[in-house]
Amino acid sequence: MTDRDHVDEGYVDGGGRSGQSARGATLGSRPCRVTDGGSDAENVTAESGAVVEQLSADTAFELLSNETRLSALRALFDATDPLSFSDLNDAVGTGDSGQFNYHLDRLRGVFIRKTPDGYKLTAEGMDVVGSLLAGPYTKTVEADAIPVDADCPYCEGTLAGIFDDDHVRVACRNCDRDVISLAVPPGTFEHYPREEWPLVAEQWTRQEFETAHRGFCPVCHGPIESTVEIDPDGIYDVFEAGISYACQRCGEVQYANVGACLCWYPAVVAFYHDRGVDITDTPVWEFEWAVQPSAEIRSTDPLRVAVPIEHDGDRLTLVVDQHADVVEEHLE
């Protein structure tokens, strides 16, 4: 199981106070902690359908720690078509074809591929350059608090987007409780006006949690175990029950309150759609059931937690089990 003393944490709608749920500003889903993911793969053969390590993490980082090789990856990323050796060499501007050939050879098979039409990036190469553009390693956000047009779910205060390097909180200016608290790659905000940054962070948070809810770690893509738990260590603060999404490979854990995990559940999307509301395009703090402690523990063995969702006098109640699966739906 997850060792909470050794994980970075992210959470949504946890009602947590600033700095409570992680070690200072490092809370959130990044930086990624690289682990040795190859041990399991060694126990199965390729013939049986295995994912095997083709190079070590050390080698991958070493390959990328070279200006010429990074320039070649960036040139291939910017190109719309595969590039010939000479075009790629011209784009990088080394002027030494022998040296350049050496660098391309090192990248081949992992980050670039040679095709009859020329050199192109592999999916891994795209991923690397995309990560550099997103800026988790190279960029930072510098911004004062940005007002959010919403009231705090927990007191009479109002919300604001608070940015600290790559860590974003949408939190109450008065009681300092968080509605959202997560690491967001700084480059994510670059193409949006500053006043929209809290909404950008909200959308980013949703996709991170939906990824986890679907079973993939947002950090390392490893398998996620979803567990509904009755607040074991005060992590969920004002909420009686919460959900932990724990990666079985890297140990990353994200926390949400039970209601928040239902934002993408089909019956909830349809309930609002039938009433003229696009829940996918409405900030999560607009929905009381997602940010207030309205869930009710109906039983502990088996665990059943009910979340009432109300809109214009109609009520949809969903009951989830210990794995965050919906096991009952009631529309009144």
Which residues make up the interface to Zn ion (CB under 5 A)? 152, 154-155, 157, 172, 174-175, 217, 219-220, 222, 247, 249-250, 252
The answer to whether the bond into 223 is cis (omega within 30° of 0) is: no
Q: What is residue 219's three-state secondary structure? A: coil
Query: Smaller CB distance to Zn ion: residue 16 or 82?
Result: 16
Least distance between Zn ion and beta carbon 268 (Å) = 25
Residue 107: closest CA among 53, 68, 52? 68
What DSSP string runs through 258-291? TGGGGTT-HHHHHHHHTTT--GGGS-GGG-HHHH
Q: Count other C-beta atoms under 10 Å from residue 247's C-beta.
A: 24
Query: Smaller CB distance to Zn ion: residue 8 or 103?
Result: 8
Q: Count other C-beta atoms under 10 Å from residue 153's C-beta.
A: 21
Whole-angstrom distance, CA of residue 249 vs CA of residue 247:
5
Single-letter residue type at 2? T
Query: Smaller CB distance to Zn ion: residue 132 or 247?
Result: 247
Least distance between Zn ion and beta carbon 219 (Å) = 5
Which residues neighbour 102 within 8 Å (Cβ) at sequence distance 6 or greater? none
Q: Residue 165 — φ and ψ, nearest 5°?
A: 60, -115
Q: Count other C-beta atoms under 10 Å from residue 10's C-beta.
A: 30
Query: Smaller CB distance to Zn ion: residue 107 or 150?
Result: 150
Whole-angstrom distance, CA of residue 27 vs CA of residue 136:
14
Query: Smaller CB distance to Zn ion: residue 82 or 198?
Result: 198
Q: HSE of 51 in the Cβ direction (CA atoms, 13 Å)?
A: 5
Query: Smaller CB distance to Zn ion: residue 33 or 194?
Result: 33
Least distance between Zn ion and beta carbon 226 (Å) = 14
Query: Please, are residues 37 and 52 in contact by the beta-carbon 8 Å criterion?
Result: no
Least distance between Zn ion and beta carbon 177 (Å) = 5
Query: Smaller CB distance to Zn ion: residue 128 or 219?
Result: 219
Query: Smaller CB distance to Zn ion: residue 70 or 184?
Result: 184
Least distance between Zn ion and beta carbon 155 (Å) = 3
Least distance between Zn ion and beta carbon 73 (Å) = 24
Instruction: Locate all alpha helices (DSSP H) within the chain, ordered by sequence.
Output: 57-64, 67-78, 85-92, 97-107, 123-134, 197-213, 266-273, 288-291
Whole-angstrom distance, CA of residue 200 vs CA of residue 197:
5
Least distance between Zn ion and beta carbon 164 (Å) = 19
Q: Count other C-beta atoms under 10 Å from residue 170's C-beta.
A: 27
Least distance between Zn ion and beta carbon 176 (Å) = 7
Least distance between Zn ion and beta carbon 159 (Å) = 8
Query: Smaller CB distance to Zn ion: residue 175 or 277?
Result: 175
Looking at the DSSP bridge assignments, the partners of residue 227 are 244
